[in-house]
Chains A and B, each alone.
Chain A
Amino acid sequence: MGKAFLFGGFIAVIGQALIDMYSIWFQMDEAGAVRWMNGTLIVCAAIFTPTRFYRRLTQFAGAGMIVPMMSLANIWSASALEYRNEGAAEHMLSVGGSIIVTLVVASYVATLFL
């Protein structure tokens, strides 16, 4: 649990560093920098997926790697890669599809209270 806590925090630090970097070097506003930070982390997660580096990190850090949004990128790219011979698009959401369903239902419920 300690490893998950530290690793999750470490990723958050990288995220903050990316936000600062984008806003200082590229003169972005806060919202734009956050979007770019998210995009960078997601692309990195997808890049680290095929070599099983992401899987090894998760085995080590547990929830520290599963909870951040990068894991979404990992799940989808892993599924697409695994089923490339049988139809990537068809199987891409076989593992991560539940996340989309949960997101859509949760956002709908949330809008009722806004």
Chain B
Amino acid sequence: MKKVGEQTIMFDTNIYIESVGTVVGPKELEGPLGPTFDRAYDDLYCEEQSWELAERRLMKEAITICLTNGNVQTKDIDLFIAGDLLNQTITANYVASELDIPFLGVFSACSTITEAMLVASTFIDGAFAHRVLVATSSHYGAAERQFRFPTTIGVQKGGSASWTVTGGAAALLSTTRSPFRIRAATIGRVVDSGVTDPLDMGRAMAPAAFATIRQHLMDCGLSSEAYDVIITGDLGKVGSSELKSLCYDAGMNLSERYDDCGVLIYDAEQQAFAGGSGCACCAVVTYSYFLKKMREKKIKTMLVVATGALFNSTMVKQHQTIPAIAHAIAIEAVT
């Protein structure tokens, strides 16, 4: 049985991350991880007419880079799984229309990338596909105006707000040997912690991340020391301290082996409030920074827990709570 415990899948087949591609915007380039990305645009419009077209370009570019890095052509890919933040995951749909690969759209807000990866791994493990392409993207301007206000309007945000990462990321998953193997995945449950403020998503998502991490460790019979690094997607400063205290109360000590992509991607001077967020946040940081660390043998195992705040601007206006989800993927270095 591949299912272990309540929510975790252990893959029998060796599933590898064959190649990755990351593209980011100007603010991410200026950030501390700037040099690790494959490509960066110095303008938020990315040579396009609108934010939405810019986002589409980011996802497309990431895929092109990923395919070039892996030396793979679209005809060799069995399935394309992608999702993004825009209504009806429109970016992924348009990109899929240009790729001519069978397509599955997925959405779990900012945890879309781990959802896509776990669906892809399951397909490969079941021999339903040999090679799967996963991709995601987000754009500061497009997200800001869909979920909040126009980008030039004068509003004052508190320290718990986040800055949507402008970027696109793609990865090829297959059984072709590479330095990174996907070992296990945990499907998260939706957790509603009662937060109603969309400018405080870290606090809304921390309980979901905690639930998934605890469940993963329980299902696999591991302690938190089993992983060299446990990373969350976009909890930000507020959410990650919340997660640490939740873990501490439950007797798990994350401290030094814990990192948050949203905290890592921007400097303190960049005025990004609590940190980065968005679908691309976890994806670009994991695929560039953490896989690079793994290739350099600085880390051997990591648990990627992308977190998503499942909210919608209509429901927020009706004062509904913000449910959250977190999916985890365990990646290990192959020596």
Contacts and interface: CB of A to CB of B under 8 A. Distances in A.
Interface of A: 49-50, 52, 54-55, 57-59, 62-63, 65-66, 71, 74-75, 77-79, 81-83, 85, 95
A75 B153 contact: yes
A71 B156 CA distance: 12
A82 B152 CA distance: 8
Interface in B247-291: 271
Q: Which of A54, A75, A77, A82 has the most CB of B within 10 A?
A: A82
B156 A62 contact: yes
B75 interface: no
Nearest to B149: A95
Contacts of B153: 55, 74-75, 78-79, 82, 95
Nearest to B157: A59
B151 interface: yes
Contacts of B145: 82
Interface string B142-166: 0001000111111111000000000
Decide if the interface of chain A is mainly helix, strand, loop or mixed: helix
B270 to A, nearest CB: 13
A75 B152 CA distance: 8
B155 A55 contact: yes
Interface residues of B, number: 13
A57 B155 CA distance: 9
Interface of B: 49-50, 145, 149-157, 271
Q: Which of B50, B145, B154, B157 has the most CB of A within 10 A?
A: B154
Contact of A66 (B50, B150, B156, B271): B156
A58 B271 CA distance: 13
A65 B152 contact: no
7 contacts: A54-B154, A55-B154, A58-B155, A59-B157, A66-B155, A78-B152, A82-B150
A88 to B, nearest CB: 11
Contact of A59 (B149, B152, B271): B271
A49 B152 contact: yes
A54 B157 contact: no
Contacts of A77: 152
Interchain residue pairs A-B with the least CB separation, the first 8: A58-B154, A82-B150, A78-B153, A78-B152, A78-B150, A62-B156, A74-B154, A49-B152
Given A52-B151, A82-B150, A59 B49 contact: no
Given A66-B154, A74-B152, 11 more contacts: A52-B151, A52-B152, A55-B155, A59-B155, A59-B156, A59-B157, A65-B154, A75-B153, A79-B150, A81-B150, A82-B151
